[in-house]
Chain A
């Protein structure tokens, strides 16, 4: 039941990201930067929630990694947009991602123990898969600035590793 709800919430984000490709002309660098940054913020918030709730050492280590890695890439993203004079622009995709993530946090807040750990890690697998797909198909090809594109590519290598890590962890948690 809970998994179904999580999948539904995620689907909202997937639809929002898929919609990007269909948008006329696609998103510009200001929107792309905002979407990538928002994805990082979402995963940091999820990690902080896990650090607050989980007592599982492996899950906590994973959450710490999420908070640290996404914090690092977002710090670079901020420095880059400042240097380029680009102001990240809020957009429908960012808002949809944020709304889905807020809903996810709310749902996970009612779970405890192993149920929380499983739901958190399951969501991490899906979230990273969704963002990877968007980076690969839409955000990276759409980025005009070479340095923004390079940072997004670093983000893709990060999200891909995190996805693999989350999948391994999900298998262990059963």
Chain B
């Protein structure tokens, strides 16, 4: 009931400081963890609902060493075979990424605001 009231207040007074704070806290609690599997010289499907503050776990199931490197260099992790690495997008937008060792391996993240 209270959350419904808060939601209603957000709709009515979106600029009110306390309402925005409540909204932010709710979003932080919902920060999600997504997995992108790397296998057979390819990145797996990028998460459909990715938000700023979520965690991406890059899992290298391949026989080969790879990187997950943003074209804009906002992240760059080197991942040995059988290992994983984490990145957290801090800005909303569309970020293309690749593997530095294997330039043919590419993908795109669609990052929504938190």
Contact = CB atoms under 8 A, between A and B. Distances in A.
B80 to A, nearest CB: 10
Interface size class of A (residues with CB under 8 A): 10 to 19
Contacts of B104: 160-161, 164-165
A61 B42 CA distance: 20
A112 interface: no
B63 A154 contact: yes
A144 to B, nearest CB: 21
B103 to A, nearest CB: 6
Contacts of B63: 72-73, 76, 154
A111 interface: no
Contacts of A82: none
Contact of B64 (A61, A68, A160, A164): A68
B83 interface: no
B105 A161 contact: yes
A43 to B, nearest CB: 14
- Dominant SS among interface residues on chain A: helix
B103 A72 contact: no
A88 B95 CA distance: 45
B41 interface: yes
Nearest to B62: A154
Contacts, number: 37
A18 B103 CA distance: 30
A41 interface: no
A109 interface: no
Given A164-B104, A165-B104, A72 B42 contact: no
Contacts of B81: 72
B65 A68 contact: yes
Given A154-B40, A157-B40, A157-B42, A72 B64 contact: yes
Nearest to B40: A157
Contacts of B101: 61, 65, 68-69
Nearest to B100: A61
B40 A65 contact: no
Interface of A: 61, 65, 68-69, 72-73, 76, 153-154, 157-158, 160-161, 164-165, 168
CB-based closest 7 A-B pairs = A157-B41, A164-B104, A161-B104, A157-B40, A161-B41, A72-B63, A161-B102
